[in-house]
Structure 1
Amino acid sequence: MASTSEDEALVQVDLTTWSLDQLFGMKHTVEQECAVLKESQQALQDCKEKFVASKEALDAIQPNWENREVLVPLTSSLYVNGRIKDPNNVLLNIGAGYYIEKNLDESKEYLEKRTAYVQEQIEKVEKVRLHKVMFIDAIVGVLEMKKKAASNQS
């Protein structure tokens, strides 16, 4: 997100001075940027859903589950049988092949913080995307105005 000093540095551009080619080119560029932002937003949403699912799985663990048989995922579609050694301690995958061991409460707290952080990032991306959509709308408005002016001259 832009800081206050960056916001002050924003410059307004008079789109009516641009040629049709420039307007179409900018519209195309900004539409591509919006598509990338939408993909990023979806990736963040997927990440958030994984954190929420992990937290729900931790919420289901009971203290008396020692030696309980469970299925351990090796990949998204391959599971092996396993047993819970200590229901109060879990390994968390924190990314890039790194794992940390935490107790159940600390693990839940960690997942809640990560979920909140990812949600903040989703909101930031959405704000930028909405600004770009408004810019596209402005470009389309100028394009329509120029087309109307051109048809009135003919």
Structure 2
Amino acid sequence: MSAAPSTQIDVKDLSLAQLKEVQLQLQNEINHLQDSLEQLLMVQSRFRECAGSVDQLTGGAHPAQGGQSILVPLTSSLYVPGKIPADQTPENSTFMVDVGTGYYVEKNGVEAKKFFIAKTEKLDENMRDLKRIIEDKVKNFNVIQTVMKEKIIEQQQQQQQAQAQAKKVPA
């Protein structure tokens, strides 16, 4: 199935009402894309936090002490006490990693950290693409605004000319 050929329309050929419609549509698209970007940033932050937690629990920069008590979240506001095993290392530790749509996979510390880092890098790539799309939409929005201003000025000049002509014609 092939895509329909795209046709380009010169925005200067559009009426002021049509330009306002396009401007509103672009503004809605920009708002939606910016909301999506913010959501991706929050998800990326969670992935970074997960990678940091795995690192901390398995002997990273500030390793947790073996036998140390911790609170394990069951929900966003419900925790149960737990203990870090004394022999915890990146290779022998196990984590249940949410890989999406309610599926969990058991991974050791090294694999879990790699998983979260890969997810973070993929989100970086997606966010760069999304930022480029937003920039293009903003450029289009600015073009529409410029053309609208030109058309408004043009209409005002035509009205002034018509008024001047009306004053010249004797009644």
TM-score range, shorter chain: 0.7 to 0.9
Distance in 2 (alpha carbons) for counterparts of 1:23 and 1:133: 15
Aligned to 1:74, the other structure's residue is in SS state strand
Q: Any idea what the Cα deviations from partners look like across 1:112-133, whole Å, max 9, x if unmatched?
A: 1000001111111111111111
Select the structure of larger CA radius of gyration: 2
SS class of match (2:80): strand
More moved, 55-64 vs 87-96: 55-64
| Aligned residue among 105, 111, 131 for 2:116 | 111
Cα distance in 2 for partners of 1:106, 1:46 equals 22
SS in structure 1 at match of 2:75: coil
Q: Aligned residues: percent identity?
A: 29
1:65–1:101 distance in 2 versus 1, CA, 3 Å:
farther
User: 1:66 Cα deviation (Å)?
Assistant: 4.5
SS state of the match for residue 72, structure 2? strand
The answer for the alignment partner of 1:3 in structure 2 is none
- Whether 2:69 is the aligned partner of 1:69: answer yes
Match of 1:120 among 117, 125, 130: 125
Shift of 1:29: 0.7
Instruction: Provide the rounded CA distance (Å) in 2 between the counterparts of 1:109 and 1:48.
Output: 14
1:20-35 residue pairs with structure 2 within 5 A?
A: 20-35=16-31
**Structure 1 alignment gaps of length 5 or more:** 1-5
Residue 147 of structure 2 corresponds to which residue in structure 1?
Answer: 142
2:9 to 9, 13, 22: 13
TM-score (norm 1): 0.87
Q: Which has the higher contact order (CA 8 A, sep 6+)?
A: 1
* Aligned twin of 2:46: 50
* Equivalent residues, number: 147
- Alignment gaps of 5+ in structure 2: 161-171
